[in-house]
Amino acid sequence: MMSQNPAAQFDCHPASHDHRDQLIAIYTDAFYDDPVFSWLFPDDGTRTPQLEKFFTTMVDHTFGHGGSALQTRDYGAVSMYFPPEAVEQPEDVQATLLRSLRDVLGPDARRAVHLLTLLGDTHPKDLPPHYYGTFVAARPEHQGAGLGTRLKQGVFALADQRAAGAYAEASSPRNLALYERLGQCRLGIDVTLPRGPQIFPIWRPPRPAPRTVTGTPGTPSTPGTAEGA
């Protein structure tokens, strides 16, 4: 029998790029009031379309360069991530991503490029193999229902099956408190955006790989192709 997707124990399942419009819509709605994205796009009147452009670029980049996503049933919440082999992206791939953001965001691209460059520079290079969770979000009507917790636990389950760590950045003190309750701890120095909010790097060390779970055939534990709920 095939190994069951370990994230399924938390009712988390692989998200398909065929549903990219759903992912983009969830992220656009969920991050409207997020401190980091309010700093990125300070104009309330244009924030929604700019968020849509930003997350369209990030969703396509993730699925196009080794990343994947989990979703709770019926796409109530989603989480994008990169598995260990795709965490470190080639310089030309990163350059293409930043160029794409400049093309679609116009003057707002300056802050978006600064943010991604800063996160790349502060991502520790000496960590053991790990999953990198980039964005977690729930539909507004599902926020507070624990779906973000399930998605975090789902990524942890994927990491544990490979005895890998789990790295991410919390975009608010509220999210930081949640991630700490789930077993991640602050790592290194907090990132402070220019005249803006702080971002908190967080880490969960590798744990021994669990025994292989067998049962109903499902999606392999490492999907083919990364947090605010």
* CATH code for the part of the protein at 6-124+136-204: 3.40.630.30
Q: Report the percent of the chain where pLDDT is more than 70.
A: 90
Q: Indicate whether 217 pLDDT > 50.
A: no
- Both tokens assigned to 162: 């490979």
Burial per residue of 103-123, b for 16 or more beta-carbon CB atoms within 10 angstroms, e otherwise: ebbeebbebbbebeeeeeeeb
- CA 69, chain centre distance (Å): 8
Q: What is the pLDDT of residues 146-174, one digit of tens each?
A: 898 999 999 999 999 999 999 999 988 98
The whole-number pLDDT of residue 227 equals 41
Instruction: Record the tokens describing residue 28, joined without a space.
Output: 């656009």
pLDDT top residue among 101 and 145: 101
Cβ proximity of 58 and 86 under 8 Å: no
What span, in angstroms and rounded, lies between the C-alpha atoms of 158 and 94?
A: 25
| Mean pLDDT (whole number) for 10-39 | 94
Task: Calculate mean pLDDT across residues 17-26.
Answer: 95
Which phi and psi (to 5°) does residue 52 adopt? -60, -40
pLDDT digits (tens, 9 = 90+) for 25-71: 999 999 999 999 999 999 999 999 999 999 999 999 999 999 999 99
Q: What integer pLDDT is reported at residue 220 of this predicted model?
A: 28
Beta strands 130-138; 191-192: pairing state: unpaired
Among 39-43, 89-93, 107-111, 208-212, the range scoring the smallest mean pLDDT is 208-212
